[in-house]
Structure 1
Amino acid sequence: MMQNGRDLTAASRHAAVKKAAIGGAFLMAMSAVGPGFLTQTATFTQAEGANFGFAILICILVDIIVQLNIWRVIVVAGKRAQMIANDVVPGLGYLLSALVALGGLFFNIGNVAGAGLGLNVLFGIPVAAGAIISAVIAIVILIVRNALKVVDWTVQALAVIAVLVLVYMLCVTKIPYATAAVHTVAPTKIDFYSILTIVGGTVGGYISFAGGHRLLEGGAKGQADLKYVNLGALTGIGLASVIRVMLFLVGLAVVVAGTTLDPTNPAASIFKTAAGAFGYKFFGLLLFAAGMSSIIGSTFTSTSFLDYAVSGRSVKYRDALTIGFIAFATVVFVFIGQPAKVLVVVGALNGFILPIALAILLVASGRQKIMGAAYRHPLWLAITGWIVVAFMAFASVKTVIGFFG
């Protein structure tokens, strides 16, 4: 019976951690697929045409390297990223927490606005009122009892909605697949700003840590759970990449046909042009799903940095932080206005944060005191990780020079 009890306990833990890995995958993916994701993809598809496919390809490769490195270090160390950073250099975790939380806070302004705009498109609700309704729903989801289960179910349902909407758009649109494929592997022009921005919007800032922190919340810890790292990270990247590619292809079809997208809402232009009023309603559904999933992902991850920043243990103010985080973004949107440009700029900001965060965890990956004496970080992940750090740092500098050049 004791043996059966141990087997039952092991099986229960396996099921729980596997569920956390899938939850982390969807949380990471749908944190990335927010209003900023839609705006960035539409904006750069208009500006670069088929060449934007190359930026997406680079983004996918970088995503894989970043997420496998970060999730792996977090799970093997059994600590949140800011605590690991404090182990690398005392006090460094506070800087990382501030950078991640600040990026998440500003992104949340766009997330709340996007969800509100989605309700406006669907039901004619004023955008400000829609933003407030969305914010309240997100708060309820994040602070109810068994919140992690509710979060997992919600982001998975929103992911299904997003994919179905885009599959419909692919079916009703004439896609230039050959043009997209050729320019993806052989671009005629490379734009570092677009690469920096979409990488930042997909795995930069808080998004890098969403899945890893969700795995920790689900009980994953140590080398024995690395298989769940691979399952969660690759599933999340795959989902986010599929959605990005589908949106790019639909947008490319519209742009190739000669349509100039509305700069104030380029993603809406794609859907309205491709499928008329019905397509515009579908855009509203996608935008609401994207906004809600990103509010949840941004708030969950950013507050996991804030409430663990000092002691490494959750504090009693988690619910207050959650409410304040979402309420602040909502108030800023309602009283200050449209965040469309902020979404693209903050994506670039998260791109700046990425090489710093990844470098910290790569240093940690070689510290026995942090990772344990038996752990050896895969050489290929370490090498490619440092290449990504160098590339993203170069792209960041190149972008800054471009701003002032």
Structure 2
Amino acid sequence: MLAPMTTKNTKDTADTVASTDINGKKHSKRSIAMGAAFLMAMAAVGPGFLTQTATFTGQMGANFGFAILICIVVDIIVQMNIWRIIVVSGKRAQVIANEVFPGLGYVLSFLVALGGLFFNIGNVGGAGLGLNVLFGISPENGAVIAAALAIIVLVVKNALTVMDRTVQILAVVKVAILVYIISVMAVPYQTAVIHSFMPTQINFYSIVTIVGGTVGGYISFSGGHRLIEGGLKGKENIKYINEGSLTGIGIASLIRIMLFLAGLAVVTTGYKLDPTNPAASIFKYAAGNFGYKFFGILLFAAGMTSTLGSTFTSTSFLDYAISTKGQNKYLKYRSWLIVAFIVISTVIFYSIGSPAKVLVVVGALNGFVLPIALAILLAAAVKRKIVGDYKHPKTLIYLGWLVVAFMAFASIETFINLF
């Protein structure tokens, strides 16, 4: 006679239940959730992330900590809302948007894919610049190598698994490098904490930009769409939604805080960061040429992970399939869409060169997209035809609309101050 299953065994079994992805492969639900978490976090932590954080730390000093604090709170609210609505409905964001109002999904796809394309120019360029720092090859040739590697990862057999593993390995590399840099610097922790909670200067442009660079545009949907492709659908998977979204936000926030502290340690000595490459200045000051080589590794890792995240998510916005037949048709052409997206990004990088300023501006533009995208999904959260009998927590709805209002206000304030 078989012994009755214990509570612990039941829990373990639930955590390892397999889910079938769109390619028919089976994965444990927890591995899918962690894959989504790392994809979201590493899509956010790209060359633009490094440039934005270093730029604003140089301009605002310890006061930038307040912007980071606001960003973390907004990130949690945004991701908890968007991931839940996407997974519970079992549909991609653009399909949901079309059901909220016919044609709205095409507008959302255009905004997200266009922002993703512009970000990807910086992503492949950043990876190319990383190889330039490490090996002395031209940034353009480095971008071609990085683009080729990204294409291989995204179109090989079992691409979702390969992408997840690549992103996780590169995440460990990023954290390890930043831990080392902070360990060799005199970081003013007390000043950072005080100004994070009691700033003497508030810059809405910095808030809009880093929120846009962390959960704006394609980034806010990368985790949710990864869960859908992994086969996680329905309200019974909320546990994994929570684990994945909070883990992703935690990783991205940890890396931003470490980079901020490293930059602050440099700025408080009176050293001026190089405006053409502010992030590189931090590493060069901290550890000389050795630190600069470390920066090359970090920049390459950041460029690669964001290229994978941007390409995966942006091309997923071209999938409007609501049936198996439609899904198979999309999968037939997906590899070509991926190749085209990366090739176009790389060609444009050749034309415009180093995109440091573009990365900051595009972060702000993605911040403008966020209130629009979040408002669409919040509207969907109360439509029974989209989410069925699922009841979205009222707290998340209220906080979500508060973020929509705040980001809309901050975006308008930023736009006015730019002119």
Q: TM-score range by the shorter chain?
A: over 0.9
User: Which residues of structure 2 form unaligned runs of 5+?
Assistant: 6-11, 20-26
1:317 aligns with 2:333: yes
Match of 1:126 among 130, 138, 142: 138
Matched, 1:341 2:357: yes
Q: State the Cα distance separating 1:13 from its structure 2 match.
A: 1.9
Match of 1:364 in 2: 380
2:226 equivalent in structure 1: 214
Name 1:187's counterpart in structure 2: 199
Tell whether 2:344 aligns with 1:332. Answer: no
Counterpart-to-counterpart distance in 2, 1:36 and 1:188: 26
1:389 aligns with 2:394: no
In the TM superposition, what is the alpha-carbon distance from 1:351 to its structure 2 partner? 0.2
Question: Does the residue aligned with 1:330 lie in a helix, a strand or coil?
Answer: helix
CA distance in 2, matches of 1:194, 1:321: 33
1:84 equivalent to 2:96? Answer yes
Name the aligned partner's letter for residue 140 of structure 2. A
Cα deviation code 1:237-261 (max 9, x no counterpart): 0000000000000000000001111
Are 2:147 and 2:346, in contact at CA under 8 Å, matched by a contact in 1?
Answer: yes
- Residue 21 of structure 1 is matched in structure 2 by 33
Residue pairs, 1:127-166, within 5 angstroms: 127-166=139-178
What is the match of residue 17 of structure 2?
12
Match of 1:238 in 2: 250
1:251 to 263, 273, 290: 263
Structure 2 counterpart of 1:377, one-letter code: H
CA drift at 1:313: 2.6
Correspondent of 2:367 among 351, 354, 363: 351
Q: Is contact 1:93–1:309 with CA below 8 Å preserved after alignment?
A: no
Q: Give the Å deviation of 1:86.
A: 0.5
Question: Hey, which bits of structure 1, 4+ residues long, moved more than 4 A?
Answer: 7-11, 309-312
Are 1:380 and 2:398 matched, yes or no? no
- The residue type equivalent to 1:12 in the other structure is V
8 Å CA contact 2:15–2:30 kept in 1: the answer is no
For the Cα contact (< 8 Å) 2:16–2:30, is it kept in 1? no
> TM (normalized to structure 2)?
0.93
Q: CA RMSD in A?
A: 1.8
Structure 2 counterpart of 1:243, which letter?
A: I
Q: CA separation in 2, counterparts of 1:403 and 1:166?
A: 33
Question: 1:400 aligned to 2:415?
Answer: yes
In the superposition, the TM-score normalised over structure 1's length comes to: 0.96
State which drifts further: 134-143 or 15-24.
15-24
Q: Deviations over 1:120-178 (max 9, x none)?
A: 11111111110000000000000000000000000000100000000000100100000
Per-residue CA distance 1:357-400 (angstroms, 9 max, x = gap): 0000000000011000x211101100000000000000010011
Aligned sequence identity (%): 69
SS at match of 1:317: helix
CA contact (8 A) 1:51 1:189 kept: yes
Structure 2 residue matching 1:257: 3-state secondary structure: coil
Q: CA deviation at 1:9?
A: 9.8
Equivalenced residues, count: 401
Aligned letter for 1:325? F
Query: Could you tell me how far apart the structure 2 residues matched to 1:202 and 1:8 are?
Result: 34
Inter-partner Cα distance in structure 1 for 2:29 and 2:349 = 37
CA distance in 1: counterparts of 2:30 and 2:222, whole angstroms: 16
Q: What SS does the aligned partner of 1:313 have?
A: helix
